[in-house]
Amino acid sequence: MLNIEEISSPLEPLFQRLRLRDRLSEAEHLALAGAMGGTLVVTEGDEVVEEGDVPSHSLLLVDGLAARYRVLPNGSRQISAFQVAGDFVDLPSFTLKVIDHSITAISTCRFITFPHKELAKIVEDYPHLTRLLWMTTLLDSAVQREWLIGVGRRSSIQRAAHLFCELGLRLDVVHKGQPEHFGFPATQADLADALGISLVHSNRVIQSLRVMGLLEWRRGEIVVPDVSALHRFADFDPTYLHLDHHPR
């Protein structure tokens, strides 16, 4: 007899992410565990997938920080998402086939591969689990939409504050950090590309947050002295993270 606790440990972040939103049956736990392929480790700074790839498997991030991005012809880079443990960084390729953006490892990342063939079996046999996997892609999409709203209509300082509110909560869900203290192994250049501002400006934004007492950031660690103050400053409303439990 398989023991969920034993086989599932690398999948725990995904399970936590799913179980926060809905019940996950034992059979569904096992189905996911059974669909696992191998492990993939990508060292800091390397590419995980590149624009134009047509992967035969999807990647679940189980440890580390990754970034989805595109580089424009003029050389500038825009990061469209940070991915943390429990995020299926590559699930869109299951139905979209061709990857339309690249993914890089901000810190060294550990992934679990899920062959598309195995995912297709889940779609055949586990309709509820299928909806949950579908949901995870829509969660990513909701976060991305919030970023779009921020880049379009929030000041760069608010946007930075908003990002740190978001990351704190998302890491909390998968027990990889807390809203008041979590790892963020990115550089100020990475942050600039995520916020859609220049490197110099990103430095000044961080300094502003520091002097306002809203943020500390040293050696890859973020400390938020007063979480609710940061939330207020950022006009942060976590609705878009869909942290609530529903039958889906």
Partner DNA sequence: CGGTGAGTTGATGTTCGTCAAACCGTGTGG
Partner DNA sequence: CCACACGGTTTGACGAACATCAACTCACCG
Q: Select the residue interacting with its own copies from 88, 147, 182, 184 (CB under 8 A).
A: 147
Q: Select the residue interacting with its own copies from 84, 88, 196, 206 (CB under 8 A).
A: 196
- Sign for the CA dihedral angle at 173, 177, 181, 183 comes to negative
Task: Kindly tell me which of 121 and 201 has the beta carbon lying closer to DNA.
Answer: 201
CB of 68 to its own copies, least distance (A): 8
Using CA atoms, how far apart are residues 163 and 248, in angstroms rounded to an integer?
27
Task: Kindly tell me which of 138 and 212 has the beta carbon lying closer to its own copies.
Answer: 138
Read off the DSSP letter of residue 240: G
Read off the DSSP letter of residue 179: T
What 3-state DSSP class applies to 234? helix
Q: Select the residue interacting with its own copies from 2, 27, 41, 148 (CB under 8 A).
A: 148
Do residues 89 and 95 lie in contact, with contact meaning Cβ atoms separated by under 8 Å?
Answer: no
CB of 181 to its own copies, least distance (A): 27
Task: Kindly tell me which of 13 and 196 has the beta carbon lying closer to DNA.
Answer: 196
50 binds its own copies (CB under 8 A): no
Kindly list the distances between the CA atom of residue 237 and the CA atoms of 131, 134, 224, in Å, as whole numbers in the listed order. 25, 23, 17
96 binds DNA (CB under 7 A): no
**What does the buried/exposed string (b/e) look like for 168-206 if buried means 16 or more CB atoms within 10 Å of the residue's CB?**
bbbbbbbebbebeebbbebebebbbbbbbbeeeebeebb
Using CA atoms, how far apart are residues 150 and 172, in angstroms rounded to an integer?
22
Q: Which of residues 101-120 bind DNA (CB under 7 A)?
A: none
Q: Which residues pair with 222 in a beta bridge?
A: 182, 217
Q: Which of residues 24-83 bind DNA (CB under 7 A)?
A: none
154 binds its own copies (CB under 8 A): yes
Q: Which of residues 187-226 bind DNA (CB under 7 A)?
A: 187-189, 196-201, 203-204, 206-207
Q: Which of residues 204-223 bind its own copies (CB under 8 A)?
A: none
Locate 194 and state its tokens: 């995520």
- Sign for the CA dihedral angle at 139, 45, 33, 55 comes to positive
155 binds DNA (CB under 7 A): yes
Using CA atoms, how far apart are residues 138 and 242, in angstroms rounded to an integer?
10
Q: Which residues bind DNA (CB under 7 A)?
A: 155-157, 187-189, 196-201, 203-204, 206-207
What is the binding site for its own copies (CB under 8 A)? 51-52, 68, 70, 72-74, 76-78, 80, 92, 94-98, 100-101, 120, 123-124, 127, 130-132, 134-135, 137-142, 144-145, 147-149, 151-154, 193, 195-196, 235, 239-240, 242, 244, 246, 248
